[in-house]
Structure formats: C-alpha cells, structure tokens
Amino acid sequence: MDDERCKALSNYQKDGYWHFWIGDEHLKIPKPFEVGAIFGTVPERLAELAVEQRGMHFLKRMKWVFGEMFRLDIVPQLLKPPLRIYSNWDEFRERPVLPEWLQRGQAEDQYDERTPLVAIATGRAFSASPAHVQTLVEGYLGAMGTYIMAAADRMLRALGDYPSAPSMDLSDAIVLRRFMGQKVPRSTVYLEEFYEMKKEVDDFYNSIQINIQRGEVARARHLLDKSKSKLALRDWINKQAKQLSKLNKVIRAIRADRHLSSEEKKTRVDALQKAKNELARVAAKVIRAHERKG
C-alpha cells in the first residue's frame, strides 16, 4: 500500500482485487468474496485506518464490504437493477448511473461516448435511456452482459459509419480486463473523494439557502456552524471542478472526432486523463489536510 499507484486506485479496485506491478504492467487478482474480505480487505483497511486516522472513511468501506462482499443485503438480486435506476446509484461501483450532466434532455439522449452502441440503439427504439439499458443488461447478465455489449460495439463501429474508438490496451480486452489494470486509470480514489466532498459542500450550501428562504434562520445558522470548515473550501472546490469539467469536454470531443486515428485518440485521451488524475490527487490532498485541521 506504500506504492503511490496502489494508493491512487479507486475504492472498488482496492477492496475487490489484489494488485501488483511487473514493470509498467498492472496485474490484479479478484478477491474471493468472503475469504478475500476477511483475510484481505478488512486487514488492509484496518492498516489504513491506523496510518491515516480517517474513521468515517473506514466505516463507509466496511459498510460496502459487508454489503457487497459478504452479500449481507436484504434486497433480492432481481430488484437491484431497477432500484439502481430509480435511485440513480450503482452501489457496487459506487457511482451514479447517470452523472449530472447526462440527466438533461430526452431519455434516449442519455449516453456518452463509452455507452455501447447496442444500448444506444435499444434506447432509441424504446424511447428509453441507453445508460439505463446498459445498467439493466449488466445487472441481470453480469460480466457476460458487459462482454457481449463490448464485442458487439467493436463490430458495429468497424462496420458502420461511427467515429473510431481510442486504440485498446490489453486491459481493455474483454477477458483480460478482469486481470489487468489500466495503465492510465479512468477512476481513482482521489477523483472519488473530490466529487464526494463537492457534493457534500453543495448539499450544505443549498440547504442553508433553502432555510434562509423559508425564514428558518435558526436552522440555517445551525447548518452554517456545522459546515463552516467545509464551506470555506467551496469556491476553491468549484474552481477545481470547472477544470475537471473542461478536461472531460475535451476528452468527449476527441472521442467523437471522425478524423483522428484510434492511436492519436488514445495518446491524447491518456494525456488528458493523466492531467485529470493529477488535478484530483492534489485537490484531494488539500481537502484531507483541511479536514485534519478542521
């Protein structure tokens, strides 16, 4: 866990896999659910707690471990995919089904450049959200559903008039992705922490404004006192969020470009993703230091 590459891994990757590197190659081994949690994830998180002293973070991770790895969940699997859509939250990957920027517009337009073409076509055929279609397929068919859509997507892009996708690493291959990590990760623990803090700060700020408008001044003051330390970072967090948003827009434009080759897209997207990851790493470190002082 002393390796910075390991520290940067998303929480899902840390808790669900063992990771090691051979040179620049990132390899990973899926943890068997209960055994992996008892002898892997729980001791690792306890060691992290001893070093970083982040009690609430530890409790959140234990909640995920017992809910997802021990399967201590009263919700039947049959209901989970539609509940993910209803709540707009993927509890396994710990991210929204539809990010905020995709929630605008008609349902059939709710997809991004990584949404499989099969899901997009199905969504348009039934006036449904392609992101929701993808969630249902992956929720009911698991890894097999992901593999089928990925293979169909590559075939359709090759045969149809679609922008080329960035060239693939071995970690993008249908089977190997389970055992090989991305050289430039698309999600890191720092990105997760940054967006979690932004949401928390925005929620406090909006609640304070709502209570002021209602005339509930005492409640507004209570929330302000409770969140004063976090709100002190609000303007700075918003500036970082705008920078990340700009980088995301450029990445989407590159993926949609019909003139760039797959190799050129891969090079440019990787460079921008590295910039995103570094911006988030610095931001998360600042936020952690601020929380320790506060």
**Distance, first Cα to last Cα, the chain:** 26
- Rounded CA-CA distance 44/39 in Å is 9
Query: What pLDDT was estimated at residue 217?
Result: 92
Q: Extract the tokens encoding 59.
A: 């409790």
Q: Which position has the token pair 């609000």?
A: 234
Residue 157 pLDDT exceeds 90: no
- DSSP assigned state of 70: S
Confidence of residue 31 (pLDDT cuts 50, 70, 90): confident
The whole-model pTM stands at 0.79
DSSP readout, 16-69?
Answer: HEEEEEETTEEEEEEPPHHHHIIIIIHHHHHHHHHHH--HHHHHHHHHHIIIII
Confidence of residue 222 (pLDDT cuts 50, 70, 90): very high
Q: Mean pLDDT throughout 221-247?
A: 94
Counting every residue, how long is the chain?
A: 294
SS3 assignment, position 9: strand
Residue 53 pLDDT exceeds 70: no
DSSP readout, 119-147?
Answer: HHHHHHHTT--HHHHHHHHHHHHHHHHHH
Q: What are the start-end ranges of the E strands in the chain?
A: 17-22, 25-30
Query: What pLDDT was estimated at residue 2?
Result: 65
| Each residue's pLDDT tens digit, 186-204 | 999 999 999 989 999 999 9
